[in-house]
Amino acid sequence: MADLPLLNTYGRLPIVFDHGRGPWLYDTDGNRYFDTFCGIAVSGLGHAHPAITQAIADQAARLMHCSNLFHTGIQQSLARKLCDISGMDGVFFANSGAEANEAALKLARLYGHNRGIHSPAVLVMDRSFHGRTLATLTATGNRKVQAGFEPLVSGFVRAPYNDLDAVSAIARSNPNIVAVLLEPIQGEGGLQVADPSWLQGVREICDHQGWLMMLDEVQTGNGRTGNYFAYQTFGVTPDVVTTAKGLGNGFPIGACLARGEAARTFQPGHHGSTFGGNALACAAASAVIDTLEKDQLMARAREVGDRIRSRLEQAFAGADYVRSIRGIGLMIGVELTSPCAELVPLAKTQGLLLNVTAERVIRLLPPLTLTDEEADTMVDQLIRILRLYAADDRQSPRSNEGPKGSQTP
């Protein structure tokens, strides 16, 4: 596959997929694989969900696109649904997570300028991930994502995640901060879960300083943590929230939602997108929300997530190669004591598609539609593969370090 006419941006496994159904993907040779991470938190209702397929087909037959110089009923109704769910006052529709975050970053700068801050800065976190555009890769707390793309965008200040003293110190020393952007659970950063008291403390600092609290829920949103947005689980309300990924179950759509003064900041001409809020994308997202609600899938994410985590905790209690099992709902990380990228090709030979992030964290993001039986199939496979991997490691050891523990806020 080396000579394919594709720019070389991904390290891909040599599998060609043809179709999917629920948590399963089928390759062109007819082999079946269990997809444990849903295209990185995208197909939250599973592959080829009939309600989404039908909604897209019906909308395609009526109207796929018209300019944002006009209204469509489907865009209006999706905006209303999202605002009702989130408590926000308005939505800007984009096509991806990075674009939703770009909208938030532009909104924050404009909000700052409106308040007389002419060099506004946004506070972002170590180990964060916000996308691959120039502004969002600058916001991202990972040098690997930034290296080679300098000069980076100005106007970002960084703090360690879950460290309220660091945020307070920056609030005292930097008058140019206008907003903070953070993920309630860092996905790419290795399933780091925010401490609820840290989030509440950041909220208080934002209120005191007049900063916008902006949450990147591109990965955590759309029901995955047991509520539509993770902030509803943590008991804080942001001023701006962004999402994408599971919003369209595979149809590209992103959204930047805002409330209060933040929602009144953009005026015509400040921001835009040809395809943002496209009728087809809105029909897909609207059907996703209806299905999440009708089938009570958010409660299900919490229930099946607890089942998966407790089975993994039981299986690996005392295993010296597992450092921690953590997460909320169907966003679960299994952190090993040493880098484990080799697990991915090994799991593939066993029919399991795995994602490893931050070098040593197996990230499980299965669909919210998972039955108990499917969840058990996934867990049984993972346990078997990890034990195989660890036994192999004992024959030719990798480096082992650090304590083992489990954290489930």
Ligand X SMILES: Cc1ncc(COP(=O)(O)O)c(C=O)c1O
Question: Which residue's entry shows tokens 């929300």?
Answer: 289
| Structural Rg of the chain based on CA atoms | 21
Q: Which residues contact 381 (CB under 8 A, 6 or more apart)?
A: 34, 347, 350, 351, 352
Q: Could you list the residues that contact ligand X (CB under 6 A)?
A: 40, 96-98, 101, 129-131, 183, 187-188, 216, 218-219, 244
As measured in angstroms, the least distance from the Cβ of 188 to ligand X is 5
Question: How many residues can be counted in the chain?
Answer: 409
Residue 274 marked ligand-binding: yes
Nearest to 75 by CA among 64, 85, 61: 64
Calpha distance 175→171 (Å, rounded): 7
Nearer to ligand X, 130 or 311 (CB): 130
Calpha distance 228→232 (Å, rounded): 7
Residue 98 marked ligand-binding: yes
Q: Cα dihedral angle (111, 198, 163, 256), rounded to 10 degrees?
A: -30
Q: What angle do CA 358, 361, 40 make, to 5 degrees?
A: 80
Residue 129 marked ligand-binding: yes
Q: Cβ-closest residue to ligand X?
A: 97
As measured in angstroms, the least distance from the Cβ of 224 to ligand X is 11
Residue 58 marked ligand-binding: no
Q: Cα dihedral angle (186, 187, 191, 192), rounded to 10 degrees?
A: -10
Q: Is 228 helix (H, G, I), strand (E, B) or coil?
A: coil
Nearer to ligand X, 155 or 189 (CB): 189
Give me the sign of the Cα torsion angle 1, 26, 131, 282. Answer: positive
Residue 216 marked ligand-binding: yes
Residue 239 marked ligand-binding: no
As measured in angstroms, the least distance from the Cβ of 253 to ligand X is 10
As measured in angstroms, the least distance from the Cβ of 244 to ligand X is 5
Residue 157 in tokens: 């200040």
As measured in angstroms, the least distance from the Cβ of 249 to ligand X is 14
As measured in angstroms, the least distance from the Cβ of 283 to ligand X is 19
Nearer to ligand X, 131 or 327 (CB): 131
As measured in angstroms, the least distance from the Cβ of 314 to ligand X is 29
Nearer to ligand X, 98 or 385 (CB): 98
Residue 218 marked ligand-binding: yes
Nearer to ligand X, 110 or 256 (CB): 256
Nearer to ligand X, 333 or 386 (CB): 333
Q: Are 214 and 247 in contact (CB under 8 A)?
A: no
Mark 183-218 as b/e (b = at least 16 C-beta within 10 Å): bbbbbbbbbbbbbeebbebbbebbeebebbbbbbbb
Q: Are 19 and 48 in contact (CB under 8 A)?
A: yes
Nearer to ligand X, 216 or 335 (CB): 216
Q: Binding site residues for pyridoxal 5'-phosphate, as ranges? A: 97-98, 129, 216-219, 274
Q: Binding site residues, as ranges? A: 97-98, 129, 132, 216-219, 273-274
Q: Binding site residues for N(2)-acetyl-L-ornithine, as ranges? A: 132, 273
